[in-house]
Amino acid sequence: MSNLQIEQISCLSDNYGYLIHDPESGETACIDTPETAPILDRLAQKGWVLSHIWNTHHHYDHAGNNLEIKQATGCQIIGPAGEADKIPGIDRAVDDGDMVQLGAHKAHVLNVGGHTLGHIAYHLPATAHAFVGDSLFALGCGRVFEGTMAQMWASLQKLAALPRQTQVFCAHEYTAANAAFAATIDPDNPHLQQRIAEITALRAQNQPTVPTEIGRELDTNPFLRPDDANIRQHLNMIDASDAEVFAEIRARKDSF
Ligand code: ZN
Ligand code: FE
């Protein structure tokens, strides 16, 4: 099985769209459709033909250009079953436990609801890639718009359980703002301090901080660390459950 080729495309003010291409089958999938022109331009530049759109959730900056891109390419659209009625042009609805393929490459669908109720992520175990939309961000997580805090925490635990070396392709460049918040929750974490320095340097040169890795997030992302003794002490929540500590961190970020 040949390696997948991945193109990261800056869209709108802070979105990332992704193309993944399997040279063996010639198939190409687009993860979400934040903008039409940059995605079609990149396809043309690479000489790739779009076979699929894989949507993560229904928000406009993720599925809003589905129809334009489908019309231009004739691709098939795969999206979350839990919000299929809100995914323009959807051909196949998938949910937790389903599998989608790009050539011989297999992506497992994870339900990571919370940001939206039906939000899904695509995990390709063989190549250690995960496309997570607005569920997990570098040093952050999605705002809980439609689901409950408990649902979001359960979703993040699924992502946290992926192998540490899994590359995580988030849908937004929110890392600098997330870093500023993380420092207020976990101020004594040396891994976080080092990472913030790296992020500051990258952003100063307008370089992306995405993709990230599960292992790095486990070490530094406060939303994946509600079990950490220092964070609990800092929040004065020593005896609370992980879900309660997560909910407190998410609530603080909402008003940060
Ligand atoms: Zn969203
Ligand atoms: Fe978004």
Range of the domain at 237: 175-254
Q: Which residues are within 5 Å of ligand 2 (an ion), measured at CB? A: 61, 134
- In this structure, the dihedral spanned by the alpha carbons of residues 135, 110, 39 and 169, taken in order and rounded to 10 degrees, is 50
The span from the CA of 166 to the CA of 226, in Å, is 21
pTM: 0.98
Indicate which ligand has the atom closest to the C-alpha of 15.
Answer: 2
Indicate which ligand has the atom closest to the C-alpha of 170.
Answer: 2
pLDDT band at residue 1, thresholds of 50, 70 and 90?
low
Distances (CA, A) of 45 to 38, 42, 76, 240: 10, 5, 21, 52
- Peptide bond preceding 222 in cis form (omega within 30 of 0): no
Instruction: Tell whether 120 and 21 lie within a shared domain.
Output: yes
Q: Tell me, what's the pLDDT at 34?
A: 98
Of 170, 197, 212, the one marking the end of a domain is 170
- H/E element, 9: strand 5-11
- 142-191 per-position pLDDT tens digit: 999 999 999 999 999 999 999 999 999 999 999 999 999 999 999 999 99
pLDDT band at residue 118, thresholds of 50, 70 and 90?
very high
How many domains does one find in the chain? 2
- Distance of CA 238 from the midpoint of ligand 1 (Å): 32
- Distance of CA 246 from the midpoint of ligand 1 (Å): 19
- 207-242 per-position pLDDT tens digit: 999 999 999 999 999 999 999 999 999 999 999 999
- Distance of CA 25 from the midpoint of ligand 2 (Å): 30
Instruction: Tell whether 111 and 223 lie within a shared domain.
Output: no
Report H helices in the chain. Answer: 37-46, 60-63, 66-73, 149-160, 175-185, 190-204, 214-220, 229-235, 242-254
Say if CB 170 and CB 132 are below 8 A apart. yes
CATH of the domain at 32: 3.60.15.10
- Distance of CA 23 from the midpoint of ligand 1 (Å): 30
- Distance of CA 61 from the midpoint of ligand 2 (Å): 5
Instruction: Tell whether 72 and 149 lie within a shared domain.
Output: yes
Instruction: Tell whether 49 and 85 lie within a shared domain.
Output: yes
Nearest to 110 by CA among 98, 126, 100: 98
- Distance of CA 26 from the midpoint of ligand 1 (Å): 30
Instruction: Tell whether 78 and 62 lie within a shared domain.
Output: yes
- Distance of CA 64 from the midpoint of ligand 1 (Å): 11
- 93-117 per-position pLDDT tens digit: 999 999 999 999 999 999 999 999 9
Write down the number of H helices and E strands in the chain: 9, 14
Of 170, 201, 230, the one marking the end of a domain is 170
Instruction: Tell whether 157 and 114 lie within a shared domain.
Output: yes
Instruction: Tell whether 159 and 215 lie within a shared domain.
Output: no
